[in-house]
Structures are given as C-alpha cells and as structure tokens.
Amino acid sequence: MARELGPRIEEILEEVVGDTGPVLWLTGAGISAESGIPTFRGEEGYWQVGSRHYQPQEMATWRSFCRMPDEVWAWYLYRRSVCRAADPNSAHRALADLEEALGDGFCLVTQNVDGLHLRAGNSLARTYQIHGNIDYMRRADVDSPAIPIPETVGEDWTRERALDDEARALLCFPDGAPARPHVLWFDECYDEPNYRLDSAVSVAAACRLLVVVGTTGGTNLPLQIGMIAARRGKPIIVINPESNPFVSLGDSDRVTFLQGTAGAWVPRLAARIEERMGSAAV
Ligand code: OAD
C-alpha cells in the first residue's frame, strides 16, 4: 500500500511555500537504479583489464587514461551502452514535470552521468551535471566544450569489447587531437566550465528546500551542498532505502528521512510540491 508523505512534509511545504529560491533536488545513482542502471558502488561496478578486476576508484582517473586510453575508453563506451539502453523511470519523469510547473523555482544537481534527467525532459539550463555526461567527450589536450560522442561509435559495446581502429579514429577531433570522456575523474577537481561547481554552490545557498535522492554522499561537492543548505537552516528531505550522511546533517528537526526507493517517493513528493507551489513559483 502507498505510504503517506505525512504531516512533517506538509509542515515543510507550508513553511517554504512563501519563500524565494528554487526547490533544489540533488540526485545520485539510486534514482536510476529502477531504470536498470547499476549504482556506482553496487556489484556491477567493477572494471576488468586482462584478467584483473579493478574498482572504478582505481581506474576512473586521469592517470589511468594517460596510461591506457583504449581500456578507459572501452569501459566508458560499455557503460554508455548500458545508459543508452535504459529509459527514464517514474522518478525522472516526475522531476521533468515539476520543472515544467515551477520554472525557475526548480533546480536539479545530479551526480549521474547517464543523461536520464535530460532525456526525461529536464532542461540543461536547470540541470547541473556535476560529474559530467557519459554521452559526451571533450579534448584531452586542452580545455574545450564537450560535444556528443559520434553516433557512429555505436551502442553495442559489451564489457569485453576492445577499442578498434575505427572507434579510435572517431574519438578524435578534426585536427587529430584525442578526445576524453566528459566525466569527472577521481584525481580531478570540480570546476564551473565543465561541471557547474560555482552554480551548484550558489544554488545550495539560495534554495528554499533541498531534496536528496539516491546517493551515499561519497564525494565532496554533494555533501558540501547538503552542508551549505543545513548551515542556512533550509529544510532537507532525504529519499533513500538506507540511511546516509545527509540524514544527520545540521539540526535533526530540519532533516526528514523518507525511507524507500525513488520510485516510491519522488513522484508523490514532486506532485505535492507542484500542488502547493505550482502557482506560486518564482
Ligand atoms: P552510490 O552507488 O554510491 O550510491 C547509490 C545510493 O542509492 C545508495 O545510497 C543506495 O542506498 C541508493 N539506492 C539504491 N537503490 C535505490 C532506489 N531504488 N531509490 C533510491 N535510492 C536507491 O552512488 P552515488 O551516491 O550516486 O563520482 O555515487 C556518487 C558518486 O560516487 C558517483 O557519481 C561517482 C562516485 O564517486 C564520480 O565518478 C566522480
């Protein structure tokens, strides 16, 4: 049976309805789990080179890309195939509907590189992809805007498939400069041009409510966003099947934990926010 959002959520919405600033959603791999994309720290998250298994933390690095670009590219093309085979789920769709209703009263910061929020209909202007997008590449030699990976690279990359000459040639710029995946690696820093660092920090300070969905908070910026919102006394709602560090941010009475999946809670919460704020959007 569907669980009710409960009186605490109604109190929060009553409190923020007259505030300014967007309702900020911060999402992680958990929101795409019901689309069939393995979470980052789930069992599918390993990486194989030869006979050895690596964890992404060892391999998703600039250092590894410099040492073995073909292997790193092959891994990302495989993961890109998994993402492109997946469809947005009810939680993604609910956030696209909510943006349509709230306009600038809505903002989304996502750690997911799968592009599913955009495919569901969220706009690039209000979606900060702070870890990049697996469908894009940029120059490996100098800073450059990201561009889509050519369609001709194909979407049927299995985990075992190695990079061939044809793909290698497509993963270059017209002057022959090699491309890299447009994703943030573990030995790299957030920035504004690629990953919307400043925009994400600013919206954390300006938001009226923060909703955190499906993340362990294992990286720096997402937790920082939570801390900024908590320090400013903003209400925080956490949606996750398990507890995480966001649940204990700031004063306990400012954080509400909706335990369960994104599919169970996000459409219901988004619909209720739209009912309360749709007409009063910024
Ligand atoms: P994780 O794999 O660390 O965490 C997934 C979270 O989703 C966990 O808290 C699960 O409890 C939760 N979860 C699982 N199924 C869910 C469901 N159906 N609905 C809602 N929540 C569910 O993924 P992230 O926290 O997104 O960064 O990982 C963050 C970052 O860690 C990644 O973007 C990556 C890595 O460092 C970089 O690559 C820079």
Residue type at 134 in one-letter notation: I
Assigned domain for 190 exists:
yes
In sequence order, the 6+-apart residues with CB closer than 8 A to the CB of 80 are: 134, 135, 149, 155, 157
Residue type at 180 in one-letter notation: R
Show the tokens assigned to 271.
């619909």
- Which residue out of 76, 108, 111, 128 has the highest number of ligand 1 atoms within 8 Å of its CB and is therefore the one to mutate? 111
Cα distance between residue 136 and residue 182, in whole Å: 5
β-strand 236-240 against 23-27: which pairing, if any? Answer: unpaired
Q: Domains in the chain: how many in total?
A: 1
Identify the CATH number of the domain in which residue 198 sits: 3.40.50.1220
Assigned domain for 268 exists:
yes
**SS3 state at 15:** helix
Question: In angstroms, what is the span from residue 69 Cα to ligand 1's centroid?
Answer: 26
* 279 pLDDT above the threshold of 90: no
Give the per-residue pLDDT at 280. 55
Gyration radius from the chain CA atoms: 19
Assigned domain for 2 exists:
no
Give the per-residue pLDDT at 126. 98
Question: In angstroms, what is the span from residue 260 Cα to ligand 1's centroid?
Answer: 14
- Which residue out of 109, 220, 240, 266 has the highest number of ligand 1 atoms within 8 Å of its CB and is therefore the one to mutate? 240
**SS3 state at 183:** strand
> 138 vs 26, 34, 68, 260, CA distance in Å?
25, 29, 17, 37
Q: What's the pLDDT band for 109 if we cut at 50, 70, 90? A: very high
Question: In angstroms, what is the span from residue 18 Cα to ligand 1's centroid?
Answer: 32
Question: In angstroms, what is the span from residue 45 Cα to ligand 1's centroid?
Answer: 11
29 lines ligand 1 (CB under 6 A): yes
Q: Which residue has the CA at smallest separation from atom 13 of ligand 1?
A: 30
> 272 vs 6, 97, 163, 239, CA distance in Å?
11, 12, 47, 15
Give the per-residue pLDDT at 254. 92
Active site residues: 131
Assigned domain for 106 exists:
yes
32 lines ligand 1 (CB under 6 A): no
Give the per-residue pLDDT at 107. 98
Dmax over Cα atoms in the chain, in whole Å?
60
Burial 116-138 (b: 16+ CB within 10 A, else e): bbbbbebeeebbbbbbbbbbbbb
Atom of ligand 1 nearest to the CA of 215: 25
Q: What's the pLDDT band for 49 if we cut at 50, 70, 90? A: low
219 lines ligand 1 (CB under 6 A): yes
Assigned domain for 262 exists:
yes
**SS3 state at 16:** helix
Assigned domain for 1 exists:
no
Which domain, by its residues, includes 235?
Answer: 7-280
Q: What's the pLDDT band for 255 if we cut at 50, 70, 90? A: very high
Query: pLDDT, tens digit, for every residue of 54-67?
Result: 777 888 999 999 99
Question: In angstroms, what is the span from residue 282 Cα to ligand 1's centroid?
Answer: 30
- Three-state SS string across 199-216, please? HHHHHHHHCCEEEEECCC
Give the per-residue pLDDT at 44. 63
Assigned domain for 131 exists:
yes
Q: Which residue has the CA at smallest separation from atom 33 of ligand 1?
A: 111
Assigned domain for 276 exists:
yes
Q: How high does pLDDT run on average in the chain?
A: 93
Cα distance between residue 147 and residue 166, in whole Å: 19
Question: In angstroms, what is the span from residue 41 Cα to ligand 1's centroid?
Answer: 7
DSSP 8-state assignment for residue 26: E
Residue type at 218 in one-letter notation: G
In sequence order, the 6+-apart residues with CB closer than 8 A to the CB of 281 are: 101, 102, 103, 104, 105, 106
In sequence order, the 6+-apart residues with CB closer than 8 A to the CB of 192 are: 198, 199
Query: pLDDT, tens digit, for every residue of 154-171?
Result: 888 998 899 999 999 999
- Which residue out of 39, 43, 92 has the highest number of ligand 1 atoms within 8 Å of its CB and is therefore the one to mutate? 39
* 282 pLDDT above the threshold of 70: no
